[in-house]
């Protein structure tokens, strides 16, 4: 028998179990972790390339108008004809480029909440230091954050681009100083609204496809109903225009930019239209939150 010298005989190491003695967070850290994971999921990060295509394509699509606007501005910058102040799209209008964002919400909101229920992950999540409200905050916060980002980044591109192609960058900033608060506020109003409505509707079902269809269906149906009502009103504004729940954040946007409802809106001309719009916006927002809190108030193990 060959006897190995002690140095060559080898050894089996039992790595055993190492207790964790580092820092531990509580509810806040758990909520932030869930928010971060939901953002990652919605953006397709740490997932296959197929999951990444849609969100990043969307960001590209929403940025196209800004790039076109800046490009045209640059092309005509030295034009002998007086075309200063050319705007292919205004900041106010740009906040309203919301269809792409709505489609994004219809696809991602169900994706961040439905599997938790259908795959019965919720009991595990709630065995961590999380409450139902924390869960809602994390999920709505994740979608709102991304919608805000995708709504806001194109504005930054537009603003910086316009500033650079303008005759005087400082003058451009001074002339458009108000959009520095109007745009983020209006985009935040839109993002929060879409996130709450989207996640609330998605929370009512276990199936992603059903959730997505529900989000698009509700917005399209209410838009159609509101359009019919407006048509029946004969071109005059009608308070029933608030039935179009897709338009409510855009009405609030009008108030942020102009201080009144846009004249092109179906609610234009209605007495107290601004208050009506804000009230309807808040009612929908709070109803969505109530649905969410109810859905995640208690989870069965």
Residues that bind other proteins (CB under 8 A): 15-20, 22-27, 29-30, 33-34, 36-37, 46-47, 115-116, 119-121, 123-131, 298-299, 301
CB neighbourhood size of 217 (10 A)? 13
How far apart are CB 32 and other proteins at their closest, in Å? 9
By the 8 A CB rule, do 189 and 256 touch? yes
Judged by beta carbon, residue 33 or residue 227, the one nearer other proteins is: 33
d(CA 94, CA 186): 10
Pick the closest to residue 186 from 85, 98, 272, 280 (CA basis).
Answer: 98
How far apart are CB 296 and other proteins at their closest, in Å? 12
Judged by beta carbon, residue 24 or residue 259, the one nearer other proteins is: 24
Judged by beta carbon, residue 16 or residue 85, the one nearer other proteins is: 16
How far apart are CB 158 and other proteins at their closest, in Å? 34
Dihedral class, residue 171 (left if φ above 0, else alpha if ψ from -120 to 50, else beta): alpha
How far apart are CB 120 and other proteins at their closest, in Å? 5
Judged by beta carbon, residue 116 or residue 266, the one nearer other proteins is: 116
Name the one residue in this structure whose structure tokens are 């400082």.
170
Torsion of Cα atoms, 165 then 166 then 170 then 174, to 10°: -130
Pick the closest to residue 252 from 221, 236, 273 (CA basis).
Answer: 273
CB neighbourhood size of 237 (10 A)? 18
How far apart are CB 281 and other proteins at their closest, in Å? 32
Judged by beta carbon, residue 41 or residue 77, the one nearer other proteins is: 41
Judged by beta carbon, residue 115 or residue 149, the one nearer other proteins is: 115
How far apart are CB 21 and other proteins at their closest, in Å? 8
By the 8 A CB rule, do 252 and 281 touch? yes
Q: What are phi and psi of 67, to 5 degrees?
A: -65, -40
By the 8 A CB rule, do 71 and 88 touch? no
């Amino acid at each position: 028998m060959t006897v190995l010298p002690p140095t060559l005989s080898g050894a089996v190491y039992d790595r055993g179990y190492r207790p964790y003695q580092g820092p531990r967070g509580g509810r806040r850290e758990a909520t932030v972790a869930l928010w971060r994971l939901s953002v990652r999921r919605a953006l397709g990060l740490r997932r296959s390339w197929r999951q990444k295509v849609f969100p990043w394509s969307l960001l590209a699509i929403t940025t196209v108008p800004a790039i076109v606007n800046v490009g045209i501005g640059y092309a005509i910058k030295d034009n002998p004809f007086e075309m200063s102040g050319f705007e292919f799209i205004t900041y106010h209008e740009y906040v309203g480029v919301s269809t792409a964002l709505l489609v994004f919400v219809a696809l991602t909101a169900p994706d961040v909440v439905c599997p938790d229920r259908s795959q019965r992950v919720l009991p595990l999540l709630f065995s961590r230091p999380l409450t139902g409200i924390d869960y809602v905050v994390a999920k709505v916060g994740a979608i709102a954050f991304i919608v805000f980002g995708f709504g806001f980044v194109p504005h930054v591109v537009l603003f910086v681009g316009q500033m650079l192609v303008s005759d005087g960058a400082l003058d451009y900033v001074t002339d458009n100083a108000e959009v520095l608060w109007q745009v983020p506020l209006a985009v935040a109003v839109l993002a929060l609204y879409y996130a709450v409505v989207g996640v609330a509707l998605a929370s009512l079902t276990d199936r992603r496809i059903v959730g997505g269809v529900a989000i698009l269906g509700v917005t399209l149906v209410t838009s159609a109903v509101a359009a019919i009502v407006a048509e029946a009103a004969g071109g005059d504004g009608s308070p029933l225009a608030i039935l179009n729940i897709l338009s409510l954040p855009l009405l609030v946007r009008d108030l942020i930019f102009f201080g009144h409802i846009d004249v092109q809106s179906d609610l234009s001309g209605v007495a107290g239209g601004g208050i009506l719009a804000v009230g309807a916006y808040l009612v929908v927002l709070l109803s969505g939150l109530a649905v969410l809190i109810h859905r995640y108030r208690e989870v069965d193990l």
